[in-house]
């Protein structure tokens, strides 16, 4: 089997929801290789504390690549304390222009409670419309479900959990083993 024939790693849905004074990032625990579930309890949402500031990050894509990006983001945040947007832009610029980083296959959703951002390897730092962002194989399902619930009485965590449950019911690369982190906005 050539490397071009090797089945890719799949499986992750990460959602960020900002509502009612809180921001929640939730992620499922499934990692798949081709048609096989390799692990069902992966932890793809992490709390970071660079320079004493509380940041939550969720990642989709290659785990090793995502950890590399999270380390770089922490370094950027230590250099620009309390400035998540600036640190994210600096990371995105490096990711797009550095020959080593360009090969990394992952996406991030990050928040400090004030801002909710998606960071991509294309150099994008996006603030989502409607205070909902989602990435990964089931991201579109979770995004649609969460947007439909944003006008309901549910709080941010309830919206995120329900959206993830819907994504897990639809996407074979997403499961219901959630990691949920909340931060006050």
What is the predicted pLDDT for the residue at 169? 97
Which member of 12, 111, 174, 182 is catalytic? 12
What is the predicted pLDDT for the residue at 10? 55
Segments making up each domain of the chain, as ranges: 9-180
pTM (2 decimals)? 0.91
Q: Could you read off the pLDDT of 88-119 as tens digits, one per residue?
A: 999 999 888 888 888 888 899 999 999 999 99
Residues 6+ apart with CB under 8 A from 14: 25, 26, 27, 28, 44, 45, 58, 59, 60, 109, 134, 135, 136, 139
Known catalytic membership, residue 12: yes
Measured CA angle at 47 (ends 161, 8), to 5 deg: 70
Q: Which tokens go with 28?
A: 């499922």
Q: Which CATH number fits domain 9-180: 3.40.640.10, 3.60.20.10, 3.90.25.10, 1.10.240.10?
A: 3.60.20.10
Position 25 confidence tier, pLDDT thresholds 50, 70, 90: very high
């Amino acid at each position: 089997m050539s490397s071009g024939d090797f089945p890719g790693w799949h499986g992750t849905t990460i959602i960020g929801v900002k509502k009612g004074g809180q921001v929640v990032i939730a992620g499922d625990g499934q990692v798949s290789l081709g048609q096989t579930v390799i692990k069902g309890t992966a932890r793809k949402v992490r709390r970071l504390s660079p320079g004493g500031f509380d940041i939550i990050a969720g990642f989709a894509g290659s785990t090793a690549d995502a950890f590399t990006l999270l380390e770089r983001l922490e370094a950027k945040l230590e250099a620009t304390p309390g400035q998540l947007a600036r640190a994210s832009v600096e990371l995105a610029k490096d990711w797009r222009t550095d020959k080593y980083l360009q090969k990394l296959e992952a996406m991030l959703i990050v928040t400090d409670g004030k801002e909710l951002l998606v960071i991509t390897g294309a150099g994008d730092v996006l603030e989502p419309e409607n205070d909902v962002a989602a990435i990964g194989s089931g991201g579109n399902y979770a995004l649609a479900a969460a947007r439909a619930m944003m006008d309901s009485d549910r709080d941010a965590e309830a919206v995120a959990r329900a959206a993830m449950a819907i994504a897990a019911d639809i996407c074979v690369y997403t499961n219901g083993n959630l990691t949920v982190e909340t931060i006050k906005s």
